[in-house]
A and B are shown apart, each in its own frame.
Chain A
C-alpha cells in the first residue's frame, strides 16, 4: 500500500505526454526577441537555449540548442512552428514531431527552414 499510491500517481502522469518547454523567436526588422517558457513543474531535464534566425535566400532559417542537464540519456521529441508577421501560424502541421536522443550533459543543435517567405517568427516545442 505504501508504494502503490506513488506508483499509481507516476503511471497516471506518464500516460499523458505534454509540451515541456517552448521557445519563441520573434523578428521585427533588425530586432529579435526570444522567450523561453518551461511548463515542467518537476525538474526539467531539457532546456532550450541559443535560439537563432538567419536567411536561406528569402526563407527564414531557424536554429536552437537543446541541452540535457541530467546525467542520463533522454529521448525526446521536438517540433518547429512557423508564424507570419501578424502571428498567424503558417503551414499548420507542416513539421512533424521529430524524435531525438541526447546523452547526459550533451547539447544538440536542431535546425529547420521555413516553408515559405511569409514566415517571420518561429516556435520550437520540446516534449519528453
Chain B
C-alpha cells in the first residue's frame, strides 16, 4: 500500500513541471499577465478593447459610420502617471481595431516626412513619368481628432499596494470643435508589496 502511494505521489509531482513545460516557451499573447504591478499587456489590450467597443456602439457614431468612413487623426495621449508607458502603443492598437472594423479611415502623421520625400522624388528626380506621378494637394484632411489622457493613483501601506489607472479617450470634430464622443476605462490592481516590481 505504501509503495502504491509513493508511486502515485511521484507521478503526481512529475505532472507539475509538465504543466509549466520547458524553461522557455511561447505564451498566449492575449493571456492575463500578472508578472508585476506595473502597466502590462493585459492593461493595454483591455483598454483598447473597451474603448473601441464604446466608440463603435455609441449611437451618433454608429449612425455617422453606417454610410461613410470618416477620416480621423490620432494625437498623442498624455501620460500623467509616474510610470513610463508607451501610450502610442495603446493608440496604435485602438487605430488597428477601428480600421479593421471598416468604420473609420486614418491620417498617419508619422508617415508625413516619408511621403514628402517620395513626393519630392516623384516631382524632382526626373526619374518618374510626370503623367504617372502622384499629384500634390489631393490628400484628404482629417475630420476628427482622437486624443486623451492616462492617469494613475498609487496607494501603499506596509503590506499592500493599490494602483488605479484611468484612460480617457476623446473624439473631437475638427470643423466645429464639438467633442463628439468620450470614453473611459478604469483598471484597479491590488498586490502584496513583497512581489511588487514597478
Write the residues of chain A forming the contact surface with B, with a CB cutoff of 8 angstroms.
1, 4-5, 8-9, 11-12, 15-16, 56-59, 61, 77, 79, 91, 93-99, 111-113, 115-117
B28 and A112: CB pair below 8 A?
no
Write the residues of chain B forming the contact surface with A, with a CB cutoff of 8 angstroms.
5, 8-9, 12-13, 15-16, 19-20, 28-32, 41-42, 45-46, 49, 52-53, 56-57, 62-63, 65-66, 97, 100-103
Chain A residues lying within 8 Å of B46, measured Cβ to Cβ, are: 96, 98-99
Chain A residues lying within 8 Å of B53, measured Cβ to Cβ, are: 111-113
SS class, residues of chain B in contact with chain A = helix
Bound Cα distance A1, B6 (Å): 9
A9 and B57: CB pair below 8 A?
no
B102 and A116: CB pair below 8 A?
yes
Query: How near does chain B come to A25, taking the closest CB pair, in angstroms?
Result: 17
Given contacts A57-B62, A59-B101, A117-B102, contact A5 B30 (CB under 8 A): no
Bound Cα distance A79, B65 (Å): 26
A57 and B49: CB pair below 8 A?
no
Query: How near does chain B come to A95, taking the closest CB pair, in angstroms?
Result: 6
A93 and B56: CB pair below 8 A?
no
Contact of B56 among A94, A97, A113 (CB under 8 A): A113
